[in-house]
């Protein structure tokens, strides 16, 4: 198994967000925000859609697209968005065409696009779960998975999911690009070194060690060679200024058992 060592100093202008903290004497005078009540939305949209052959491939097809939507908003801890386009054939499709476009529903994974989004847990909760479309998803440090989208194939509509968890100095994230099929999945565990050595830091995540691994089963959304990648890295945020950060990174990774 081959590995590669690397180190890089990264400088960038980053948007920074700050928040003022109230003095201890003002705590009693601050009113608590009222809990958010549940709200919902239901709607139906209809439009027409055509598919044109390209470079002699495909057929001329026309559809009436009906798209129902149901949204439930339970505040920071819960959110649900359901809905999928139903494409009813108007013309085309070759011999023995069906009423609906079969490529939208010809595999178990395609039923995942009924779930546009399901959120359980807020960003500040120790455990959070998300299911639905994954657009420009990155796995924590993004050394192995960066800006990945699981619905870029127009004939493959999976529901992905990821879980985040925090316990003391440990932070982890695990994901699957298709919860109903065998495709891409992985996880990363990060250890806050400053927390271990000096107790709870004022700024979390400035000095971390992380281990990540991903595996592509290649069994859904088309066939692909199975591959596994693993990566170990360390990160130090050496400079933090308003609008400016400097990171020092070092890592080691490769394909376990793959000879590369």
What is the pLDDT at residue 260? 58
Q: Which of 59, 76, 106 is the last residue of a domain?
A: 106
Check whether residue 88 and residue 127 sit in a common domain. no
Lowest mean pLDDT among 93-97, 103-107, 221-225, 233-237: 93-97
Asked if residue 159 and residue 201 are part of one domain, the reply reads yes
| Number of domains comprising the chain | 2
The pLDDT tens digits for 105-162 are 999 999 999 999 999 998 788 999 999 999 999 999 999 999 999 999 888 999 999 9
| Residues contacting residue 252 through CB under 8 Å, at least 6 positions apart | 3, 4, 5, 6, 231, 232, 233
57 plus 135 within the same structural domain: no
Task: For residue 3, name the pLDDT band (cuts at 50, 70, 90).
Answer: very low
The reply to whether 82 and 191 lie within a common domain is no
Shared domain check, 260 and 182: yes
Q: Can you give the pTM of this predicted structure?
A: 0.79
| Res. 97 pLDDT band, cuts 50 70 90 | confident
Task: Write down which residue in 50, 78, 106 finishes a domain.
Answer: 106
Instruction: Find all residues with CB under 8 Å of 134, minimum gap 6, and list them.
Output: 148, 149, 150, 151, 160, 162, 175, 177
Residues 50 and 99 in one domain: yes
Q: Facing residues of 81 across strands?
A: 71, 117
Q: Are residues 170 and 71 in the same domain?
A: no
Q: What local confidence, expressed as pLDDT, does residue 26 receive?
A: 46
Rounded to a whole number, what is the distance in angstroms from the first to the last CA of the chain?
Answer: 6
Residue finishing a domain among 80, 106, 132: 106
- Does a structural domain hold residue 200? yes
pLDDT value for 95: 73
Based on the domain organization, do 156 and 255 belong to the same domain? yes
**pLDDT at residue number 30:** 47
State which residues form the domain around 94.
Answer: 39-106
252 falls within a domain: yes
Pair 248, 138 in one domain: yes
**Structure confidence by residue, pLDDT tens digits, 151-181:** 998 889 999 999 999 999 999 999 999 999 9
Average pLDDT across the chain, whole number: 85
- Window from 53-67, 72-86, 142-156 with minimum mean pLDDT: 53-67
pLDDT single digits (tens) 4-19: 444 443 434 344 344 4
145 & 255 share domain: yes
62 and 162 housed in the same domain: no
| Residue 89 CB partners (closer than 8 Å, separation 6+) | 61, 62, 63, 97, 98, 99, 100, 101
């Amino acid at each position: 198994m081959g590995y590669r060592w690397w180190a890089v100093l990264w400088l960038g202008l980053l948007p920074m967000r700050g928040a003022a903290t109230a003095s201890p004497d003002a705590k009693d005078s601050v009113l608590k925000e009222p809990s958010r009540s549940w709200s919902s939305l239901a709607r139906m949209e209809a439009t027409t859609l055509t598919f044109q052959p390209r470079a002699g491939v495909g057929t001329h097809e026309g559809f009436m697209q009906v798209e129902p939507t149901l949204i439930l908003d339970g505040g920071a801890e819960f959110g649900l968005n359901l809905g999928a386009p139903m494409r009813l054939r108007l013309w085309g499709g070759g011999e023995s065409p069906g009423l609906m476009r079969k490529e939208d529903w010809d595999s178990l994974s395609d039923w995942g696009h009924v779930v546009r989004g399901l959120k359980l847990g807020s960003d500040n909760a120790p455990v959070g779960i998300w299911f639905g479309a994954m657009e420009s998803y990155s796995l924590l440090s993004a050394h192995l998975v960066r800006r990945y989208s699981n619905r870029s194939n127009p004939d493959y509509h999976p529901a992905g999911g990821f879980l985040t968890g925090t316990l003391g100095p440990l932070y982890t994230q695990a994901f699957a690009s298709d919860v109903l099929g065998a495709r891409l999945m992985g996880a990363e565990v990060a250890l806050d070194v400053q927390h271990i050595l000096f107790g709870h830091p004022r700024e979390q995540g400035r000095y971390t060690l992380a281990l990540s691994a991903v595996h592509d089963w290649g069994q859904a959304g088309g066939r692909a060679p199975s591959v596994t990648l693993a990566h170990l890295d360390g990160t130090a945020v050496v400079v933090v200024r308003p609008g400016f950060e400097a990171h020092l990174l070092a890592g080691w990774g490769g394909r376990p058992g793959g000879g590369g």
